[in-house]
Each structure stands twice: as structure tokens, then as C-alpha cells.
Chain A
Amino acid sequence: MNSYLALHQTKDESVRDFVAEATTVCKTAAEGDLEQRICHLPEDPRFADLAIAINSLLDSTDAFVRESSATLAAASKGKFYRRFIVRGMPGSFRRGAIQINDASNEMAAQAETLEEAREHRDEAFLKLESLVSESNARVESTVAEISKILGGVTVLAINARIEASRAGEASAGFGVVASEIEKMAQRITKSTDRLTVEVSVFMEESKSILQSILAS
């Protein structure tokens, strides 16, 4: 503090101007404005060295801030080729730069893994979609077959009922059985109809779910 005051009060005008300029530059930098530099180099070589040292410190800091924000901004947009140029970055600045590049490489690797995972998922869903379609087709054909058989059973039951009524009292019980078979066939037909409707609703819903997942 004493030497600082002494410099402020010195009779040497160029030194006084230099101290004033250096003080302003350092204060602004401390407030986060890295734009200012000492633009008037004092003639006294000792002070000139100090001015260059202060400017160099600001240059390194300024460069580090510009480069790191540009590198990270590029990485966040997937432009991983934009590396932090490490050359010319001294000491801690270099270590920071290397760390940023490592992080960016890590992000690139993760982005790739994510892309692979997405491809796997898409493949799996496409398989699932065709599986659902296939099983729907199988259910439909099975239901069609059941309907055909039921048609046959119904005809048989009707014929049996007619034969029973011709045969009279003795085979009345047989007629009851025949009409029960007929009713049962009707009930099975209703159930398979419902099954067809339900399967097609299920099909449509699963298709739209799959599509919404694939589109995401």
C-alpha cells in the first residue's frame, strides 16, 4: 500500500500515468471486463515489463474465456470437431483446455452411443410391429375357421332337431339337446365376434403406440 501511494505521488509523470492506467485496467478486469489493456508502454523498462506482464495475463484469460465458451457452444450443437486449440495456452489454462476437450470427446462418444441405442430401439419396435400384425392375422384366420366349424355345427343341430320332431315322442329329449347345441353355437359366434372386435381394437391401439414411440 505504501509503495503504491509512493508511486501515485511520484514526480515522474510517465510513471504516474502508467500506474493510473494499470490500476484502471486491473480494476475493470477484476469486474469481469477483459477488454481493457495497457496501451501506453512506459519508457522505464521495468515498468514496461510490468505492463506487458499485466497485458499477457489479461490476454491469456481473455483467450481462455473466448475459446472455452466457443468450444462448449459448438459441442452443445453436436459440432464436436471444434476443439479447444491447446497450443499457446500456458499452465492452468492448458490443463483447463485439455479438460474441456476431454469432456467434449466424452460428449461425442455418448452422443454416438445414444444414436446406436436409438437405432437398436427402432429396430426392436419395427420387429414388434410386424409381430403384432402377424399375430392379428393368425387370430383372424383362427376366428374365421371357428366360424366355419360353427356354421357346420349349427346346420347339424337344425337337422337333428327336424329329425327328432319327425320321430315323435320317443326322441323328444334328443330334440332338446339339438336345440341346446344350436343355442351354444350362437353364443360361441357372439363370443368370437366380440373377440374379433377386441383384437382389432388392440391392434389399432398398439400400432398407434408403436408409431408414437418411433416418431419420438
Chain B
Amino acid sequence: MSASPALNRELLQEYRAVKPTGVERKLGPEEVIVSKTDTKGHITYANHVFCRIAGYTTEELMGAPHSIVRHPDMPRCVFKLLWDVISAGNEIFAYVKNMARNGDHYWVFAHVTPTFNAAGEIVGYHSNRRCPDRKAVELFEGLYKALRDIENSIPDRRIGLETSFNKVLEILESKGVSYDEFIFSVTPN
């Protein structure tokens, strides 16, 4: 169930032209953004909270790539980690800064899980996003800025991604924790 490819193309063009406004939108404390995608990350379902905060209609989001809400401040290595983990059949939690249609941003604490069919194959992904803790947002704002700076300072994109990804591993190693343990340690219940 996807919108027309023409609509998807139009939307992407609009997205590329938008600049971040620096204005923050906030999720209600008990609100949850829900989306489902196919195996390539194209949206197959977006709930009303998603539509409202991102500024799109359900119709428009159908079939659009999930990167339609990608904020330029997000380091690429976070999405590499996300895809590495979920395509291997595991769940992941991540703090993500997203961009609404007009360039405003909203922070979320995302949980992404694969959807399996009866044969145990991955047929898509599901994501729940909750209102993040403020302290955690401040922490990740700083961490992501450092990772983004690494990525931007290296002209070769591939090497830039590798370097920032290794930086993440280095940080975790210095703390002696896994990524999941780290995320839960900075997330209040």
C-alpha cells in the first residue's frame, strides 16, 4: 500500500530543499510514534502521532523512505549500527534526532525490531518511538556532534563512516559496556 511514486518523488525533492530551523517539537510524555517499513526501510505504516509531529499525511508517508525524517545532525554511523543490528534479526534502541517537514526537529528514544514471518524470515521492521529523557538527549547531542564532526572532516565518505563507527566502539570499550548496556544505563525507567 504505497502512495504514487510521483508523490514520493515530489516529497523527496521537498525534503532536500528544507533546512533545519533549530526549532524543537516535543512528544507528549506518554505519546508513541509508530511506524512500520518493508525490508528496505520504505514506510508501510505511520500512526497519527508520526503524521502530526512530522507534518505529513498518512497517504504521503506510504512508500516513502524512512530517511524522509532524517536530520542532517545525525551521524551516519548510528544508522549503520541500526541496520547492522536489525538486519541480523535483533532489536535496537537508539536516541534519534528527526526532522519535521518544515525543518523543525524532534528527539525520540527509538526501539526498532524486525518482523518475522512464520518461516522466521525478516519481512519488515517496526519502530516505536517515545519521548526521550532530557539528560539523555543532552548527552547524545554532544556525542553525535563529535561523531558527525569526524564524518565531516574526512573527504572519503566510506573512511569517514568507518572512523566514526570505530570511535563508537572505542567509547564503549573504554566504558567496558555493550551498546545496549550503555543505552539502558542512561535511560531512566
Contacts and interface: CB of A to CB of B under 8 A. Distances in A.
Contact of B130 (A39, A41, A56, A85): A85
A26 to B, nearest CB: 15
A155 interface: no
Interface residues of B, number: 31
Interface stretch (B10-18, B30-38, B95-103): B30-38
Interface in B137-189: 180-181, 184-185, 187, 189
Given A79-B180, A81-B184, A39 B189 contact: no
Interface in A59-87: 59, 62-63, 66-67, 70, 79, 81-83, 85-87
Contacts of B126: 62, 66
B113 A70 contact: yes
A83 B58 contact: no
Contact of A41 (B44, B58, B91): B58
B124 to A, nearest CB: 8
A215 B46 CA distance: 54
Q: State the majority secondary structure of interface residues on A.
A: loop
Interface in B77-95: 91, 93
Nearest to B124: A35
Q: State the majority secondary structure of interface residues on B.
A: mixed
A111 interface: no
Given A39-B62, A66-B113, A59 B32 contact: yes
Contacts of A87: 29-30, 130-131, 189
A37 B130 contact: no
A52 B48 contact: yes
Interface of B: 1, 29-32, 34, 36, 44-45, 47-48, 58-59, 62, 91, 93, 109, 111, 113, 115, 124, 126, 128, 130-131, 180-181, 184-185, 187, 189
Interface of A: 35, 37, 39-41, 52, 55-56, 59, 62-63, 66-67, 70, 79, 81-83, 85-88, 90, 101
> 6 shortest A-B CB distances, which residue pairs?
A88-B32, A88-B130, A39-B1, A59-B34, A37-B45, A81-B184
17 contacts: A37-B36, A37-B45, A40-B59, A41-B58, A41-B59, A52-B47, A59-B32, A59-B47, A63-B128, A66-B91, A79-B180, A82-B184, A85-B93, A85-B187, A87-B29, A90-B30, A101-B189
